[in-house]
Structure 1
Amino acid sequence: MVERESAEDKLKHLREVIATARSMPMSASCVINRGDVLTVIDDIIDHLPDEIAEAQEVIDATSAKVSEGEAEAEKIVADAREQAAELAEDSEIVRVAKERAARIVAEAEEEAAALRKETDVFIDARMASFESVLHKTTSQVKTARARLAERSGLDLTH
């Protein structure tokens, strides 16, 4: 596909031709090639309707998409209204389900509290057993150190 310059590109080229034209001494005037400038202007005039037609096609396509979007939005709203009506009919079912869910949660919380208490009792018993063993071990260590101190005359302050 051959790419052609847009009217905007051609106008930029025309501006560049004029901006880079040779200046007249001591004047704001310049010398430009009339044929070159007229050729660029004619080319712009010839292709401008094509670009306008292309722009109109884009506008038409956009309008069609907007119409499709609006139709889709209306369908979505209608579906939502229908679902809302169905949900309103099901509200009694929802109320019963919420009550049942609340009962199940309450039962689960009671069971969790009972399990927590049972676990705490078990852990406390294990810690008491460990404390007893630790106490016996500490007592045996003290007795052994005291015998060692008696036998060797050691100072047990540290």
Structure 2
Amino acid sequence: MTQDTRGQSVVEILDELLALVDNARSIPMSASVMINQSEVRDLLQLARDAVPDQVLRADDVLADIDSVRASGRQEAASIIASARQDAENIVAEARAQASRLVSNDAITIAARSTAARIEDEAKQKAERLREGANHYSDSTLATLEGQVNGVAAALEEAVRAAHEKMDAALAQIYAGREVLASRQETTDAVFDHSEEE
């Protein structure tokens, strides 16, 4: 090989393998070429060795995404819990205030009306807090879902491209070897016939 291929990705190694086939000397009167078996084997071995590392890196990316998703869910749960606690505190304060108002018999009717109004306002505020927390949680999870789908599609496309390039290279190699084997059989037959004469 003309350069150090260690550390290259599978796609880069396959590109070099295809370049090796494209630049190889053609065999006259055929679509086959002559290539260095050792170079091809070395490149194929490097590609095979590189695949597990890339799969592990892909697993790490997915693990990071899962971690971000879990963090988003935890944050959303924390926001919802905080909103619920705030709502409960508001309602409790409203009830306490209502209790203080109705303790005076002279203003019982007014106190009850005020207490009901305060409690209704507290419930409305609590509902708004809950809806806001739910919206934030749903938006965060939707964003994470889009990121996960994007990474999965990119990984699937990379694996598909690598398989296509490897299949193309192997097809050319096998075709070349078959032509060489056929010509060797023809040459041997000619030599055998000459010796018999």
- Normalising by structure 1, report the TM-score: 0.47
Higher relative contact order (CA 8 A, sep 6+): 2
Structure number with bigger Rg: 1
